[in-house]
Structure 1
Amino acid sequence: MAAPGQGTTADQQILGSQWSGLSDHLIAKIYPVDNKGLRAGQEQIEVHAPVTAGGNMEATLNWQSPFEQSSPDSKAPALIAMLQSGALVPGMNDFYSFFGWKSKSTSGNADVGTIERNIKKFEGRTGITKLNSTQIFTGMPPIKINVSLVFRAFSDPKREVAAPLQQLWAWALPQKLSGDSLVARAAGGGEGIDGAINSMFPSVAPQLIGFQYKQRTLAPMVIETIGEPIDAPIDQDGYYTEITIPLTLATLTALDRDDLKKIMGPGSYSSN
């Protein structure tokens, strides 16, 4: 493989810094793909860079217990709380005392005493059960990868730092945003289905990418966030000499167990 920044073939170009002696497994590789995760276009451009400490891949699984509100506790929460805590009987006695009435618990009325004893049986009890607290799976967002890519110049800051950084920005931003109004697009969009598409959807979404690192390959993915610390050191021409770029990548869709097997397969370039 040629050094980063040098073309390996007439159609392939690797952008990045030179990291001689560093294991290839420690170099992250980012490249354009189509919506099936296959390399896109004839011009094969890759950005290579090592990942700093702190990079991680995470999945958020949404589990909910929708039956929680079916318990008696949710129907009359204040009353149930007083019964469960044992505060209802003292509250009743305080109520009687406030109006100068005789406490029912000392009135000698057998029926009242029975009621109060039964009320006390609610102390420490709850309506929550295994059934109404059972969780169900409600879905998941795409898997996210948070990484920080390192670029540094050994001889040519423009080629080793500026070029890969510019390419990452080019992949992250929309490929084209229309500046015309709907009326103007309708007038100049042509006829037929192509004209209607150009009028209604004139802009082009950002480029889908693939991400390969160690034994994991995920594609297609999108760049959700990209950062550029503009206070990074520069050379006399204003080009960065060293910079760390934080990226948040996300899979185009949620993944399942079969996709996981493909992700873990060395050399795989698609999660579909």
Structure 2
Amino acid sequence: MGIFDTAESALGTVNSVLNFGSALGVQGNMGLNPHLFVTLQDKVSGTSVKARIISYSISNQAEWANKFEGTDGDSKVPILSAILQSGMYSDKLDVLEALNSKTLITKAQSIQVWSGLQPQNISMELEFRAFSDPVTEVEAPIQELLKMMSPVLKNTSLDMAMSTFEAVKGLLKNKGATAKQVHAATDGKLGETPSKIAVSLFGKRFSGATYRIESMEESVDEVRIDSSGNRIYQVVSLSLGSSEGITKSDVISPSGAGSIMSMF
């Protein structure tokens, strides 16, 4: 039995991609606050991975731009403006001294307007530790994360790919075409992009957002393995990018006052 067979039997059936259900990795909460863990789920296969968060950072970046740049007087007559502002030739013409260090740029030219937003980025270090089963708790979840990150690429020629594309294009022109026909035309011929990932981070903060794994690094300070060569401890660093920028509707308002003591 291979590692993925073992992982599959350990995972069981996930009924819905919107329900994280059982997961590879951490089994239970080890007596810790349940919100100290993150769950990532492949939205196609439904497979979930759960790990304890060692550290994390969340980055949101909005794009602002000066749309009025270049509309000022200094930009329209740059040479003259430079002469006046720098005080050049003021020793030859007294009137130029009065305009030394002056500018035609106004406050209006500095107005920034919103022009878009970048995908949200989540970077985190995850801990996988084996308490009873190194395969289910460490090896299989790490392999599953790598599978989530990886595409499926077909070893086919460009001509075959183009002919498949033309066949699909012909089907799409036919308004009576069915999904079954499109699937039959592409089955086994086209690759698949990496999976979209649903993330449960502390069980709150963002809803509806899907992510992609952009980078994954396994760091080892000390090799810890069992007699079969399976790792019993591993730290994994992940960088996730959201499929779309985070909007107001994606941000979940906090609920309940809670207690600081409940954090520990």
Query: Is contact 2:149–2:195 with CA below 8 Å preserved after alignment?
Result: yes
| Aligned position for 1:134 | 111
Q: Please list every run of 5 or more consecutive structure 1 residues that lacks an aligned counterpart in the other structure.
A: 34-39, 91-103, 105-115, 267-272
Is 1:80 equivalent to 2:81 in the alignment?
Answer: yes
After superposition, the Cα gap between the structure-2 partners of 1:8 and 1:197, relative to the gap in structure 1 and judged at 3 Å, is closer
Q: Secondary structure at the match of 2:241?
A: strand
Q: Secondary structure at the match of 2:245?
A: coil
Query: Is contact 1:5–1:16 with CA below 8 Å preserved after alignment?
Result: no
CA displacement at 1:255 relative to structure 2: 2.6
The aligned runs of 1:115-154 (5 Å cut-off) are 116-154=93-131
After superposition, the Cα gap between the structure-2 partners of 1:71 and 1:188, relative to the gap in structure 1 and judged at 3 Å, is closer
TM-score by length of 2: 0.73
The aligned runs of 1:90-239 (5 Å cut-off) are 90=91, 104=92, 116-174=93-151, 176-185=152-161, 193=171, 194=182, 198=186, 202-214=190-202, 215-218=204-207, 219-229=209-219, 233-235=223-225, 236-239=227-230
CA displacement at 1:134 relative to structure 2: 1.1
| Aligned position for 1:14 | 23
Cα deviation per residue 1:116-171 (whole Å; 9 max; x = unaligned)?
A: 22211211211221211111111112111111111122233222111110111111
RMSD: 3.3
Q: Please list every run of 5 or more consecutive structure 2 residues that lacks an aligned counterpart in the other structure.
A: 1-6, 15-20, 172-181, 257-264
Looking at structure 2, the residues matched to 66 and 143 of structure 1 have their Cα atoms a distance apart, in angstroms, of 24
After superposition, the Cα gap between the structure-2 partners of 1:135 and 1:197, relative to the gap in structure 1 and judged at 3 Å, is farther
The aligned runs of 1:8-87 (5 Å cut-off) are 10-11=13-14, 13-18=22-27, 19-33=29-43, 40=44, 44-53=46-55, 55-77=56-78, 79-87=80-88
| Aligned position for 1:245 | 236
Amino acid in the other structure paired with 1:224: E
CA displacement at 1:27 relative to structure 2: 0.8
Looking at structure 1, the residues matched to 112 and 162 of structure 2 have their Cα atoms a distance apart, in angstroms, of 50
The structure with the largest alpha-carbon Rg is: 1
After superposition, the Cα gap between the structure-2 partners of 1:131 and 1:10, relative to the gap in structure 1 and judged at 3 Å, is closer
After superposition, the Cα gap between the structure-2 partners of 1:127 and 1:52, relative to the gap in structure 1 and judged at 3 Å, is farther
How many residues get paired? Answer: 227
Query: Is contact 2:24–2:48 with CA below 8 Å preserved after alignment?
Result: yes
Cα deviation per residue 1:152-199 (whole Å; 9 max; x = unaligned)?
A: 22233222111110111111111x211101323567899663389639
CA displacement at 1:24 relative to structure 2: 0.8
TM-score by length of 1: 0.71
Question: Once the two structures are aligned, what percentage of the paired residues are identical?
Answer: 28
Cα deviation per residue 1:53-98 (whole Å; 9 max; x = unaligned)?
A: 2x122211110112221223334545533421323324xxxxxxxx
Cα deviation per residue 1:13-66 (whole Å; 9 max; x = unaligned)?
A: 411135411111111111122xxxxxx55xx4221111112x122211110112
After superposition, the Cα gap between the structure-2 partners of 1:7 and 1:158, relative to the gap in structure 1 and judged at 3 Å, is closer
Looking at structure 1, the residues matched to 60 and 219 of structure 2 have their Cα atoms a distance apart, in angstroms, of 27
Looking at structure 2, the residues matched to 220 and 188 of structure 1 have their Cα atoms a distance apart, in angstroms, of 29
Looking at structure 1, the residues matched to 10 and 32 of structure 2 have their Cα atoms a distance apart, in angstroms, of 20
Looking at structure 2, the residues matched to 6 and 198 of structure 1 have their Cα atoms a distance apart, in angstroms, of 30
CA displacement at 1:249 relative to structure 2: 1.3
Looking at structure 2, the residues matched to 146 and 137 of structure 1 have their Cα atoms a distance apart, in angstroms, of 26
Which has the higher mean CA deviation after the structures are superposed, 140-149 or 178-187?
178-187
